[in-house]
Amino acid sequence: MTIENKKGWISWFNPFKYGTDRWMFALHRLTGIALGLYLIAHVWETSNILNGQVTWDKIMVDLDYPFGAHYGPFILSLILIVAVYHALNGIRLTIVENGLMLPKPYRPEFPYKAKSLRGLNNLLKIVLGIFMILISAIGVIFIFTGVIV
Amino acid sequence: METLVLKGFGEVVKTVTFRVRRYDPEKKEIPKYEEYKVPVQKGMTILDGILYIKEHLDHSLSARYSCRMGICGSCGMIINGKEKLACQTQILELGKDLIKVDPMGNYGIVKDLVPELSKLFNNHQSVKPFIVREEEEPKSEFLQTPDQREKYAMFTDCILCGLCLSACPTSASDELYLGPQALAQSFRYIVDNRDLGFEERLNVVDSKHGVWRCHFSGACSEVCPKGVDPALAIQLLRKVMTTNIFVKYQQKGATRGPERKSALGVS
Ligand code: SF4
Ligand code: FES
Domain ranges of chain A: 15-103+111-145
**Minimum-distance CB partner of A7 among B106, B155, B229:** B106
Q: Please tell me the number of the ligand nearest to residue B163's CA.
A: 1
pLDDT for B3 equals 67
Choose between A128 and B256: higher pLDDT: A128
Q: Which ranges of B90-190 would DSSP assign to H, the alpha helix?
A: 91-94, 118-126, 146-153, 163-167, 169-173, 179-190
Q: How far apart are CA B18 and CA B34, in angstroms?
A: 8
Centre of ligand 1 from the C-alpha of residue B228, in Å: 7
Nearest CA owner, ligand 1 atom 7: B158
Centre of ligand 1 from the C-alpha of residue B63, in Å: 19
Residues of chain B contacting residue A19, judged by C-beta atoms under 8 Å apart: 218-219, 222
What's domain A15-103+111-145's architecture? Up-down Bundle (1.20)
- Chain B closest CA to A140's CA: distance in Å? 29
Residues of chain B contacting residue A108, judged by C-beta atoms under 8 Å apart: 154, 157, 226-229
Which element (helix H / strand E) includes B236? helix B230-246
Residue-wise pLDDT for B152-166, tens only, equals 999 999 999 999 999
| Among chain A residues, CA nearest to B110 | A2
Cβ B232 vs Cβ A103: under 8 Å: yes
Inter-chain residue contact B239 with A98, CB threshold 8 Å = yes
The yes-or-no verdict on residue B2 having pLDDT over 70 is no
**Minimum-distance CB partner of B154 among A22, A98, A108:** A108
pLDDT for B266 equals 59
- Chain A closest CA to B177's CA: distance in Å? 13
Residue B252: phi and psi, rounded to 5, are: -85, -30
What's domain B118-264's architecture? Orthogonal Bundle (1.10)
| Complex ipTM > 0.85 | yes
pLDDT for B256 equals 87
Indicate if ligand 2 lies below 6 Å from the C-beta of B109.
no
pLDDT for B182 equals 97
Centre of ligand 2 from the C-alpha of residue B68, in Å: 5
* CATH classification number, B12-116, choose in 3.10.20.30, 3.40.1360.10, 3.30.70.1450, 3.30.230.70: 3.10.20.30
Indicate if ligand 2 lies below 6 Å from the C-beta of B160.
no
pLDDT for A28 equals 98
Residue-wise pLDDT for B22-49, tens only, equals 999 999 889 999 999 999 999 999 999 9
| Among chain B residues, CA nearest to A96 | B235
The yes-or-no verdict on residue B124 having pLDDT over 90 is yes
The DSSP bridge pattern shows strands B108-111 and B114-116 to be: antiparallel
Please report the atom of ligand 1 found closest to the CA of residue B226. Answer: 7
Share of residues in chain B with pLDDT > 90 (%): 85
Distances (CA, A) of B67 to B18, B47, B110: 22, 11, 20
Share of residues in chain A with pLDDT > 90 (%): 91
Residue-wise pLDDT for B184-240, tens only, equals 999 999 999 999 999 999 999 999 999 999 999 999 999 999 999 999 999 999 999
Residue B16: phi and psi, rounded to 5, are: -115, 160
Inter-chain residue contact B229 with A97, CB threshold 8 Å = no
Indicate if ligand 1 lies below 6 Å from the C-beta of B160.
yes
Q: Could you check whether the bond before residue B129 is cis, i.e. omega within 30 degrees of 0?
A: no
Q: How far apart are CA B70 and CA B91, in angstroms?
A: 16
Please state the rounded mean pLDDT for residues A101-118.
94
Please report the atom of ligand 1 found closest to the CA of residue B159. Answer: 7
- Chain A closest CA to B257's CA: distance in Å? 26
**Minimum-distance CB partner of A21 among B103, B116, B216:** B216
Write the DSSP assignment of chain A as a string of letters. --B-----GGGGG--TTS-HHHHHHHHHHHHHHHHHHHHHHHHHHHHGGGG-HHHHHHHHHHHHSGGGSS-HHHHHHHHHHHHHHHHHHHHHHHHHTTTTT-PPP----TT---GGGSTHHHHHHHHHHHHHHHHHHHHHHHHHH----
Side-by-side strand order, sheet with B98-102:
B32-41, B12-22, B98-102, B76-79, B82-85
